[in-house]
Chain A
Amino acid sequence: MSQTFEPVIIGFLCNWCAYAGGDLAGVSRLQYPPNMRPIRVMCSGMVHPDLVVNALRKGADGVLVMG
């Protein structure tokens, strides 16, 4: 166990904006904490509420839906 709290965050990233933004952050070398696990979706509107609830239920500390 690490000494500090390291949250596990599930990120749903819209292919056309947030995911592209994530790619651009890479190209721009913008540094951010490595806690988010990205999942590419074709639209943030595709993220079923069950996915969010289940992620939290199964141990995610946070869910980001970005679109």
Chain B
Amino acid sequence: MTLSEVTHVSGSLGNFQVTIRQKPRYVDMEKCIACGLCAEKCPKKVDDPFNAGMGKRKAAYIPYGQAVPLKYAIDPEHCIYLTRGKCRACEKFCPTGAVNFEDEERTVTVNVGAVIAAPGFRTFDPQGLDVYGYGSVRDVVTSLEYERLLASNGPHMGHLIRPSDHEEPRKIAWIQCVGSRNINRCDNPYCSGVCCMYAIKQALVTAEHLNGGEVEQAVFYMDVRSHGKEFERYYESAKEKGVRFIQARPHSISPGEKGKGAVLEYVTRDGRPVREDFDLVVLSVGLEAPGNAEDLARTLGIDLNESRFARTSGFSPVAATRPGIFVTGAFQSPKDIPQSVTEASTAACEAARALAAARGTQAREKTYPQERDVCGEKPVIGVFVCSCGINIANTVDVQAVADYARTLPHVAHVENNLFTCSADTQNLIARKIQELGLNRIVIAACTPRTHEPLFQDTLREAGLNPYLVEMANIRNQNAWVHQQDREKATEKAKDQVRMAVAKAALNEPLHRLKVNVIQRALVIGGGVAGMNAALALADQGYPVTLVEKSDRLGGNAWKLITNDAGEPVEPYLEALIRRVNEHPRIGVHTRTTLRSVTGSVGNFHGILEEGGAEKEIRFGVAVLATGARESEPAEYLYGQDPRVLTHQQFDTLLRERPEAAGQARSAVFIQCVGSREPERPYCSRVCCTHSVKAALRLKEANPEMDVYVLYRDMRTYGERERLYQEARRRGILFIQYGLDAKPHVEKDGADLFVTVTDPILGRPLKIPADYLVLAAAMVPHDTADLVEMFKCGTNADGFFTEAHPKLRPVDLSVDGLFVAGLCHYPKPMDESIAQAGAAASRAAVVLARDEMLLDAVKSFVTEKCDGCALCVDVCPYQAIRLDTVEETGRPTRRIVTDPALCKGCGLCAATCPKGGVMVHGFTLNQLEAQVEAALGKAV
């Protein structure tokens, strides 16, 4: 339901009545074919909110090209007829009679068991803060406006120009923390968590948008917060590529010469005032709760926190304060895309868990028309060449490619589309299949790895077997990588289309097999993440085997005093362990490891080793939650002096001997010990907040104590920033150091001293330390055995690699495997708990049914097989066995393949000297046809 808002929620978990007010669209969604004539004929131009007001749209509009549903709407605030009673041009020109000015607001009530609130965020409006010059200096834009300036579907089609004179800016500044980390002038005290990374991304992408020549990018920052997975490397690469990072907050922004560009005034770290000209200034605006957050909270009956985000507990990060209502995305706290996508699954998990009893009771299957039998038909091929906005069309002459495609054998129809993946083009393809009797489709667009399923579905909806589509990847593997050579890129694109057409002509209908699913999960790792994943699945009704290699559940959490929200960990952990142990559907195995695994998604078969004894286990999915540990520092006198401790050791000390804090006069924390160093180039994410919490605890116990935190960038992201502010307020001293001037620790007699150069004073300080606490890097446990057994992967730092960081953040690349907790990347406990729920949610997708469809790309045996069995040994999945069949009266040896085990790798096909075994969709003929087509011989 679009154009809708919730006006009332009554009832309770399991039985809510939700009243929804739907505003009139004035366009009948059933009749609208999204041809766009209404917008074309509409005389009323309106500032386009999607392009941050920098472009225009009409009063009859779609918000953007990929809108779902792709149906036009009429904006009643601007429509001339609806405001002044005259016009109705859209109605006159609409070819389907879809415009309906009689449309009225309607109110519906739906009965649901749970509610998930995902209203998103709004960006901070810098208008009111004159210091940023926004609104008065023309070439000062917000980061969201800049994002639109860069976008190919933005106001200037991706051609980067500045507002004042529409010239290309060559020198651009980003100002961080606009509307974040600021309490002086009505900004927000919290850190928005995403702006550092988007500014770095924008700075790097900028270079691509300018046609050669020099470009200078400068980022003015307080702390660079690149604490996400692979983010630190991205930050380092930006530095290598010449992006300047300046730790300063410009205090004045004035217009440049003749009102073009802007002059920034700032003071460098060594106290030097600087005036610097820039062509364009981007304000990295922070994230805020939506403007109507209070109204929404009142309607839903939930509480907000002091930052206006939905109040949740660190132990149940998506549960709002009213049972049955869940929140996700930036409405819970500012967060990036991977975290938002993860927590969307968490919210789905919690809703499914709350409604487990009703699961499947109202499910309906999507139905497709009967598949047309194309056997015996000659190939009739339709080719659709995508411009992808300007992504492809900027480099490849798509019209020339389309013209060329018309000359290829079997090709009956060719089109060029702006976005071949858009809903209207999907409809068009389906229509052409039916009108022209097309029986093979070639899509020349992006990569089949992301878009093949979409086009396969289009074929199914048009009554064709989905495997009759073939893609030519002219974007990722052509236009994007040959941007400097239009001519050769176009030649290559023609070749790619010719290859795809040649292969498509040989494509045969394929069918997917169904296999039974063992509706049991294996969870490896009994820490907070593993236990939460196990409970989430067990509560939904699935039996779970929880395997822990040590002798007790709990993992790292035993060493933590509070979570980042200040809630005590121990009572939570004890209750969690009790629930896991007492759950009738969870089998807990401590001192147990997985020895071996065979099988595939839905049907895994493993051997567990428990106290020397082996035990068989069958399961449909596995969640890997093997955790991480604090590393052992190799510097700062660690191990040589008992006063030098790691975080976890210091927490243990404070728990066991609380009086120790009162007796000490000083404590020094050193950050990034073993993190963000060349040999371990990632940020451990948790240590800044951990140090701040520990420092605050010391100050609370002993306000007279001198507490120092020596840091590189403080990364107390999100609401954690409040802890950092509190620490500064309490007099904890934060001193920054660089990798080139690390602190020095020495013993002077019996005393321990830390020497560090204060960047403001420009002098070395020698600080006595009764305790020296090292923020040691988090390192993953050794998972080489699991990687080998499951054939999954880790990144260079040893953390499990997800299938896609944004699209599939808790799936591993191996089907049926999911990841949660520290083994994915260092993270605080609330994020581990959220990720565990997300992994359980994704795992439950497999477990929810007792059978699942296999991929159709599997090996098959041809009549040329003579049973030589060469392939049997090379199959890495043990999917081939030798069999004896009765043929023409005498026993004949033949191989038999098991499609459930076969992964379609084709080692068998490459080994077979006689074409006796092949892989569907990748037969020798099909590959040969592509080779020949590539070499210019159309087949």
Contacts and interface: CB of A to CB of B under 8 A. Distances in A.
A in complex with B: yes
B491 to A, nearest CB: 8
Contacts of A41: 906, 922, 927
B587 interface: no
Best-surrounded residue of B813, B932, B934 (most CB of chain A within 10 A): B934
A48 B922 contact: no
Given A39-B930, A39-B931, A42-B922, A26 B910 contact: no
A34 B489 contact: yes
B209 to A, nearest CB: 11
B928 A26 contact: no
A27 B480 contact: yes
Contact of B905 (A19, A42, A49, A51): A42
Contacts of B450: 23
A26 B481 contact: yes
A29 B207 CA distance: 11
A23 B473 contact: yes
Interface string A12-52: 10011001101101110111111001111111011111110
Contacts of B906: 41-43, 45-46
B477 A26 contact: yes
Contacts of B492: 34, 37
Contacts of B489: 34
Contacts of B208: 29
A34 B931 contact: no
Given A27-B480, A29-B481, A34-B489, A55 B931 contact: yes
B483 interface: yes
A45 B905 contact: yes
B922 A31 contact: no
A54 interface: yes
Nearest to A20: B449
- Tell me what chain A mostly uses at the interface: helix, strand, loop, or mixed: mixed
B590 to A, nearest CB: 35
Given A23-B447, A46-B919, A10 B934 contact: yes
A26 B931 contact: no
Nearest to B487: A34
B586 interface: no
A46 B492 CA distance: 24
- Tell me what chain B mostly uses at the interface: helix, strand, loop, or mixed: helix
B45 interface: no
A46 B935 contact: no
B924 A50 contact: yes
B203 interface: no
Contacts, number: 120
Contacts of B477: 22-23, 25-26, 38
Contact of A37 (B499, B857, B905, B922): B499
A61 B670 CA distance: 57
Contacts of A60: 931, 934-935
Nearest to A6: B488
Contact of A58 (B496, B903, B931): B931
A32 B477 CA distance: 10
A37 B481 contact: no
B485 interface: yes
Interface in B907-939: 907, 909-910, 919, 922, 924, 927-928, 930-932, 934-937
Interface string B457-493: 0000000000000000101111111111100110110
A39 B499 contact: yes
Given A48-B909, A59-B935, 14 more contacts: A22-B477, A23-B473, A25-B481, A26-B481, A33-B482, A34-B485, A34-B489, A38-B473, A39-B927, A40-B448, A41-B922, A42-B906, A43-B903, A58-B931
26 contacts: A20-B449, A22-B476, A23-B447, A23-B476, A25-B476, A26-B476, A31-B483, A31-B484, A32-B481, A32-B482, A34-B491, A38-B473, A39-B934, A42-B904, A42-B906, A42-B922, A43-B903, A43-B906, A45-B905, A46-B910, A46-B919, A48-B924, A50-B924, A55-B931, A58-B932, A60-B935
